[in-house]
Amino acid sequence: MNNVPPPRPPSDKEHTHHPSLTAERVDEERRLEASQHYNGQMTDRSYPPERIRSPLKKRAVLSHQSGILCADVENRAENSVKLEPAILNGGEKFEESCLQPPVYSRDPLLSSSSQSVSSNPDNVVVIKGIGDSPDMASPNSGAGKKFGLKKIVVQMQSPSGEVLFEDVVNQANTNSLTDINAGEVFDYHDSKLFSPDSNGTTEKQDPAINTMINTIRLLATRIGRMEQLKECPICGDVVTGFHYGVQTCESCKGFFKRTVQNKKEFKCVRNSDCEINLNNRKKCPACRFQKCCDVGMRVEGIREDRSRGGRSNYEGASAFIHRRFKRSSESSDYPPYPYPPGGGVKKPKTYSALSPEPPLPRPKPQIPDLLKEIYALEGYYEETTTEPQPCCVDRMTSGDKDKFDSLLHLTEHRLYQIVKWARHLPNFLNVDRKDQILLLQNAWAEIVCLGVIWRSIDANGIIRLSFGKCLDMEKAKEMNHEEVISRMLYVCSCFRRLKVDQYEYVALKVLSLMLPDIRGLQDRDKIQQYQNNLLEALLTHTSSHYPEFPLKFGELLIRLNEVQRLTTITRQQIIHLKSPEIAKNSLLMELLQHNAMPAGGTLTSDQALAHPRNPSDGIAVVAPTTACPPDSSRSHAACNGPQTSSSPAPSGLSRQHSVNGEVTNCKDVEETKLSSAELQRQHSDCPDKSDADYDDISEHSRTSISLSRQDSRAQRYASSHSRHLSVDESSSHDISPRPRYSSMNSAPARTAHSHSRSVDGHMAAATDTLSAYPGRRPSSEFSFPPKHSDSGRLSADTSRRSAANRRPSSSYPSGGKQFRTATSCSAFNYPVKNPEELLLRQQQQHLEQHHSPPLSSPSHLPPHYVDNLELHRQAAMQWQGQQQELAAMTSPPLLKGYNMKGLAMPHLQQPDPLQMLSPDFLSQRLLISQSSTDNMPQDFSMGRLSQNYDPGGT
């Protein structure tokens, strides 16, 4: 048994002339020579930096997909190996976007030397250049004739500067392109660029390059996959392919799988620095597993439900990379990064350097996996910038209506992107689809807004919309958007001050999406769990990465509230527009007025299919002045107030002149609004105040506003329909977190009913489609009942596999700890000066009450972080409680027929059945039809978002 030749990849004929590999595998004790693969004693985390290779062997530089090593590599020209693009890109279509295939120069010495490439942590990823010509002789000269496309060329270089691999991608984001330069080194570990200078390297701090980082990361990843390892980077055995993101041998694959699946916790009996090789790999599982993690094996690759076959989509999976690149080449927007196996990049960051204590048999807690997964979606689903508009826009008067209409189109595109983005979030597809819709309807504006803020984070005093459009306060004033813009700028300044990083940014986006308290959610607990996990991940991240900002976590949550407030304004502004384009903008319309159909009737299929073009997420901010009275922006707090009628009809400025006899309620609402606005006016509107002042004001006024709204609502509530009550009671857990924002929260009873008809009506088919939907691998952080002890057999019906795309992955390293229990944290009962004080106060209370820290603290955190953990947990609970509190105060229907999303759309009292079917139609189809091929509307330049919404995808 042991004497048979080692298993090999199907076409791995090359092994036949590799002495050490083709040697029959005898008992491992006899394989002493295998230790030659490593150069003597290694410290902790240093992998075999050098391996003795037979000089006969030439390193193969080939498709990573095939897993094939070409035996005739040595016949290739040594000095300049020109890889075919198809090979370079693993057969993807990527090369289509390359004007010329890059030329690879290789040092002849290299191929015969003992250097191993990307598994060598000393290799670095370097920006070779930006431009359109492969040699970068004339960077960016005429490159982007087509929409300003630029190419980024990234190389993997050995420490001596040899070019090992090279990869190219097109990049449309011309703004940030100027922020990176040739010669800069990309550190995958921290996702940062370092520019070399006289005294070593300095980290580039410019946040503007964040989007670029995504691109570069992806490139680095793909480069990392180009290398064909022959020897398992963990034990030196024969590589049998990619396993959990890394090329490893079969045994390490199995070992990793067992370890994760069974949640083993090994402990090294020595110093956790055991060398792992073919001979001793069984000796110390702790160090072996650590090494697995160090070389980049992904626990997300292990499926919690143990389903077999198919493709995984975790960051680092080949399908993941493939998808991103394929799309990126087709749509000319920039991709996100995945993750380079084996590090691919320098800086292995030894464990001992990170923490002196005995290492845990788990991945180094660099960045929580959940955050990484979420971040992996950035770039890919970021807004595209296909149409550079150099000029700052600005001045959008009513005369620019066309322009504005196109902006609406842009917005719609952005919305599609958001839907797509959400679909790719870990486990989002495991959420009930009705819930998906609810969540998206509730949060889209926040997501858009956060994107704008993120982009503007480094632009001092400027809000960067899409397409290079910018707004400063001056322009904003001209357009009467000063409140929105100033608030945005304020949040920007907060983010800047806090040094919010990309992971925190994406976490905030998802946090704004995954709100468990929205009324009508089917599976609230799941959302809750998600939120908890995300909060936990964010907390871990901020605590460990930003010890200098001990209160960062809490502050972030507070800023999130500010963003929520912001979006209330912007929603209103959009709905105030008189553009008939909104009507055609079916998805936008749907989101804006979930329950209210256009007065004209249902959306026609024409409307549904005639989709506009061009993305932008800045839409809300660039609403035309004329259509948006100054006061409306102030009164955002009175978001319950009916503001408009359905889209084609002009909206009242602050007063509802609506259809269907719902007008009577306007008065109350108006009063609410006035009082709210008055409150607001008393305090606010000075974005340049100190943070403390600002927080004081906003928190205080918001509380007041909420209360006043509650009063107003109470009056309404008393006279509301009993059916509302019954529905409310029937779903006692359903409280809307931000009723003032959520169109879904309007007329709850009706919402529920229409959902049960419209959504449910489509549910069967939709679910089927969803089930057939391929390839989405949910991943960690979502608690699913583990499936241990079941000996793992799938029942026949599970293998029937409608759940194929609901495959949960293991939540191994980051458990589903929950720290949320409080349902009401009235921390905002009285004004506080700033979040710090708030937190301190919390802490004080906590100390007074003599609570013991309820939750375990991540053991990987240094002690001084841990001190703050409890504080942060309280902040999180406070935030959650605050969401609930707000929800509770306003959840009952304020006005029948008016939603509370700040839109106040009247609804038709007796909706046509067809109309009842319509509201969710698009988003439903979006949710189910955005298949793995991402056939999201791409051809925006053609003025169509998309043609087919074939929910079946067939």
- Chain residues in the site for DNA (CB under 7 A): 1, 4, 6-7, 9-11, 25, 28, 65-68, 91, 237, 241-245, 249-255, 257-259, 261-262, 264, 281-282, 285, 301-303, 306-312, 317-319, 322-323, 326, 774-775, 791-794, 799, 801, 804, 932-933
Q: Which of 469, 446, 468 is nearest to 396 (CA)?
A: 469
- The answer to whether the CB of 863 falls within 8 A of the CB of 356 is no
Q: Which does 25 bind (CB under 5 to 8 A by kind): DNA, Zn ion, none?
A: DNA
Alpha-carbon span 308 to 803, nearest angstrom = 11
Write down the least CB distance from residue 615 to DNA, Å. 24
Closest separation in Å from C-beta 146 to DNA = 25
Query: 3-state DSSP helix/strand/coil percent for the chain, to nearest 5?
Result: 45, 5, 45
Q: Give dist(CA 265, CA 636) in Å, integer.
A: 52
Determine the Cα–Cα distance for residues 239 and 104; give it in Å rounded to an integer.
25
- Residue 68 binds which entry of DNA, Zn ion, none, with Cβ cut-offs from 5 to 8 Å by kind? DNA
| Alpha-carbon gap, residue 220 to 201, rounded angstroms | 19
Two tokens, residue 826: 């009235």
DSSP for 252-275 reads HHHHHHHHHHTT-----SS-S---
Nearer to DNA, 888 or 928 (CB): 928
Q: Which two tokens stand for residue 17?
A: 């002339």
Tokens of 764: 């069967």
Q: Which does 243 bind (CB under 5 to 8 A by kind): DNA, Zn ion, none?
A: DNA
Q: C-beta of 932: minimal distance to DNA in Å?
A: 4
- Residue 17 contact, options Zn ion, DNA, none, Cβ 5-8 Å cut-off depending on partner type: none
Nearest CB to DNA, comparing residues 852 and 954: 954
Asked if residues 891 and 559 have their Cβ atoms less than 8 Å apart, the reply is no
Considering the complex, what minimum distance in angstroms separates the CB of residue 243 from DNA?
4
Q: Which spans in 227-349 are helix H?
A: 250-261, 285-295, 318-331
Query: CA-CA distance, 910 to 916, in Å (whole number)?
Result: 9
- Encode 833-897 in three state secondary structure: CCHHHHHHHHHHHHHHCCCCCCCCCCCCCCHHHHHHHHHHHHHHHHHHHHHHHHHHHHCCCCCCC
**Residue 234, contacted partner among DNA, Zn ion, none, CB below 5-8 A by kind:** Zn ion
| Distance of closest approach, residue 2 Cβ to Zn ion, in angstroms | 17
Q: What are the residues facing 809 on neighbouring strands?
A: 303
Q: Which of DNA, Zn ion, none lies near 455, with the C-beta cut-off 5 to 8 A by kind?
A: none
* Distance from C-alpha of 372 to C-alpha of 367, rounded to nearest angstrom: 7
Closest CB to Zn ion among 47 and 444?
Answer: 47
Which residues of the chain form contacts with Zn ion (CB under 5 A)? Answer: 232, 234-235, 237, 249, 252, 268, 274, 284, 287
Tracing tokens 């191993």 back to the chain, one arrives at: 116
DSSP 8-state secondary structure symbol assigned to residue 739: T
Cβ closest to Zn ion, residue 228 vs residue 842: 228
Nearest approach in angstroms of CB 618 to DNA is 32
Tell me the closest approach of the beta carbon of residue 37 to Zn ion, in angstroms.
Answer: 11
CB of 587 to DNA, least distance (A): 24
Query: Whose Cβ is closer to DNA: residue 469's or residue 806's?
Result: 806
CB closer to DNA, 13 vs 667? 13
CB of 17 to DNA, least distance (A): 19
344, interface contact from Zn ion, DNA, none, CB < 5-8 Å by kind: none
Structure-block tokens of residue 287: 């160090």
* Run of H or E residues at 682: helix 666-683
CB 189 within 8 A of CB 337: no
Query: In the complex with DNA, which residue's Cβ is closer, 674 or 772?
Result: 772
Cα-flanking dihedrals φ and ψ of residue 186, to 5°? -100, 125
Do 224 and 344 touch, CB atoms closer than 8 A? yes
The listed partner (Zn ion, DNA, none) that binds 232, CB under 5 to 8 Å by sort, is: Zn ion
Nearer Cβ to DNA (876/928) = 928
Residue type, 450: L
Compute the least distance from the CB of residue 734 to DNA, in Å: 34
Partner in contact with 200, chosen from DNA, Zn ion, none, beta carbon below 5 to 8 Å by kind: none
Half-sphere exposure of 940 (CA within 13 A, CB side): 28
Nearest CB to DNA, comparing residues 259 and 754? 259
Q: Among residues 8 and 414, whose Cβ is nearest to Zn ion?
A: 8
Cβ–Cβ < 8 Å for 276, 291:
yes
| Minimal distance, residue 933 CB to DNA, in Å | 6
- Comparing CB distances to Zn ion, the nearer of 143 and 249 is 249
* Residue 66 binds: one of DNA, Zn ion, none (C-beta under 5 to 8 A by kind): DNA
> Kind and range of the H or E element at 202?
strand 200-203
Beta strands (DSSP E) in 427-475 are: 462-464, 470-472
The three-state secondary structure class of 424 is helix
| Alpha-carbon span 568 to 38, nearest angstrom | 61
Residue 282 interacts, among DNA, Zn ion, none and using kind-specific CB cut-offs from 5 to 8 Å, with DNA
Q: Nearest distance from residue 323's CB to DNA, in Å?
A: 7
CA nearest to 812, candidates 298, 409, 381? 298
Q: Which is nearer to DNA, 139 or 775 (CB)?
A: 775
303, 910 contact by CB (below 8 A): no
Whichever of 156 and 234 has its CB closer to Zn ion, that residue is: 234
354/794 with CB nearer DNA: 794
Kindly state the helix (H) or strand (E) to which residue 240 belongs, with its residue range: strand 239-243
What is the sign, positive or negative, of the torsion defined by CA atoms of 595, 755, 744, 621?
negative
| Contacted entry of Zn ion, DNA, none for residue 274, CB cut-off 5 to 8 Å set by kind | Zn ion
The entry of Zn ion, DNA, none that residue 527 binds, CB within 5 to 8 Å by partner kind: none
Closer to Zn ion by CB, 98 or 274: give it: 274
- Partner whose footprint covers residue 817, from DNA, Zn ion, none (CB < 5 to 8 Å by kind): none
268 binds, among Zn ion, DNA, none (CB under 5 to 8 A by kind): Zn ion
Q: How far is the CB of 774 from Zn ion (least distance, A)?
A: 30
Alpha helices in 719-756 (DSSP H): 722-730, 748-754
* Amino acid symbol at 92: E
CB of 344 to Zn ion, least distance (A): 18
278 versus 620: smaller Cβ distance to DNA:
278
| Minimum distance, C-beta of residue 261 to Zn ion, in the bound complex (Å) | 18
Instruction: In angstroms, give the least distance from the CB of 420 to DNA.
Output: 15
d(CA 117, CA 164): 7
Q: Which is nearer to DNA, 140 or 312 (CB)?
A: 312
Residue 858: name its binding partner from DNA, Zn ion, none (Cβ under 5 to 8 Å by kind): none
Strands (E), 95-199: 104-105, 124-131, 150-157, 163-171, 185-187, 192-197
What does 880 bind: Zn ion, DNA, none (CB cut-off 5 to 8 Å by kind)?
none
CA distance readout (Å), 693 to 223, 519, 688, 832, 839? 49, 33, 9, 9, 16
CB of 319 to DNA, least distance (A): 6
